[in-house]
Amino acid sequence: MALAPFLFDDFYQLKGDGTTITMDLIFGDLGQSPDYRVTLAGRVLIPDATHDGTASVKDFPLGKDVDIVDQILVVTGLITDMPGTSDVLRITFRISGGKSLLIKNFSVNATTGDHVDISLTVRFFQ
| Sign of the CA dihedral with 77 first, then 39, 41, and 126 last | positive
Own/partner long-range contacts of 63-66 (Cβ < 8 Å, ≥24 apart): 63/20, 63/21, 64/18, 64/19, 64/20, 64/21, 65/14, 65/15, 65/16, 65/17, 65/18, 65/19, 65/20, 65/21, 65/97, 65/98, 65/124, 65/126, 66/14, 66/16, 66/17, 66/18
- pLDDT (0 to 100) of residue 27: 84
- pLDDT (0 to 100) of residue 55: 76
- pLDDT (0 to 100) of residue 49: 64
Q: Which residues are registered as beta bridge partners of 79?
A: 34, 116
For 6-125, the fitting CATH number among 2.60.60, 2.60.40, 1.10.3470, 2.60.120 is 2.60.60
Per-residue pLDDT of the chain (126 residues; tens, 9 = 90+): 778 889 999 999 999 999 999 999 988 766 677 889 999 999 999 887 655 555 788 999 999 999 999 999 999 999 888 877 778 889 999 999 999 999 999 999 888 888 899 999 999 999
- Sequence ranges of the domains in the chain: 6-125
